[in-house]
Amino acid sequence: MNHLQVTVPVPAPPPPAHRGEPVLDLAVPVFDEEKDLEPSVRRLHAHLRETFPYPFRITVADNASTDATPLIAARLAAELPEVEWIRLAEKGRGRALRAAWSASSAPVVGYLDVDLSTGLTALLPLVAPLLSGHSDLAIGTRLAPGARVVRGPKREAVSRCYNVLLRCTLSVGFSDAQCGFKAERRDAAERLLPLVRDTGWFFDTELLVVAERAGLRIHEVPVDWVDDPDSRVALLSTALADLRGIARVGRSLARGTLPSGRPPRSYAVPAAVLALAHLLLYAALRPAAAAQVTNALSLLACWTLAQPVLGRRPRSAAPALTTLGALAARLAVTAGSLTALRHTAPGAGLRAELGVLAAAHLSLALARSAAGGRRRRTEPAPS
């Protein structure tokens, strides 16, 4: 069960095998970061020394840098006793994290981005439930109540659309897949890493999907996050790679080749199919009837067809899609959207009508997702 907590008391961690061995091993994956590496590592090191009550390690994971990054990493490792570095011959953030985590013996492993966009005050709340055994993974989230985010509208829209896409296609329950601020118990990492294939930016998402399907507990921490204006992430190529990753993981889920410790959430995908069927039927019937009549008939037809199919599914989405209350809500929102369009643009055609109907379905999905998040936050934590 996913749940949100802002503050968590720090319990006694599991004792390391030998005094002085790190309890937390934080990886910092880098590629050509000669400008940011030294000030960021020194800032992170100072913060951990001042606030973290147990032994720690910072592992700079250099994945095939071509500038002075390896020299800086080596110098920091020689000067600061809690800093180490590894050098990989190939690029890929996922590849760097896999190498750093696989080589670590710390009870808790994690990572954060070298630009330190995430406020470090969230580090202790991130790690505490892992040390206690209360959770298996912990992630920072920029999309939950309590998070404070400063970034441009383009990146904000891309991030929100990506996470909505994950909910609609893979039925995930976590709120923010790619915030560069995560940690997990080493025993969970040993279980998950062999199942994660991606070596790049999709590594985070795939790790979380596999963990959730395996029934592991994911703890979410709202974070303060400030966008790095000098970020080198190429949005287009990264987005295309993520879409390929979503398709690959979706195929694996359909074939049953990923572990499943609990049934997947069953609302998002049926809702998306219902919305698509409604739009297609509306487009087919619209030339023969008025907009409101077409909307009501097409939605009623889709709702009627959905009932026997969804009603037979285990942990069915029927309460969310096939009850009379659900039909009434969907009809009210879609009809209201068409009415608003007619008042604002009397001459709007079929394309505009389909657009507002699609927006209405999306707003219903987002409202349900937000309601589900509120329920998860108010549910008692598992003992």
Residues tagged active-site: 204
Separation between Cα atoms, residue 342 and residue 345, nearest integer Å = 5
Long-range (24+ apart) CB contacts under 8 A made by 241-248 are 241/200, 241/201, 241/202, 242/162, 242/201, 242/202, 242/205, 244/202, 245/198, 245/202, 245/205, 245/206, 246/165, 246/166, 246/169, 246/170, 246/202, 246/205, 248/197
CA distance 115 to 260: 35
Nearest-angstrom CA–CA distance, 103 and 109: 10
Q: At residue 165, what is the residue type? A: L
Place of tokens 């394309």: 351
Helix H or strand E encompassing 89: none
**Contact assessment for residue 139 and residue 219, using Cβ atoms and an 8 Å cutoff:** yes
What phi, psi does 262 have (nearest 5°)?
-155, 155
Report the length, in residues, of the chain.
Answer: 383
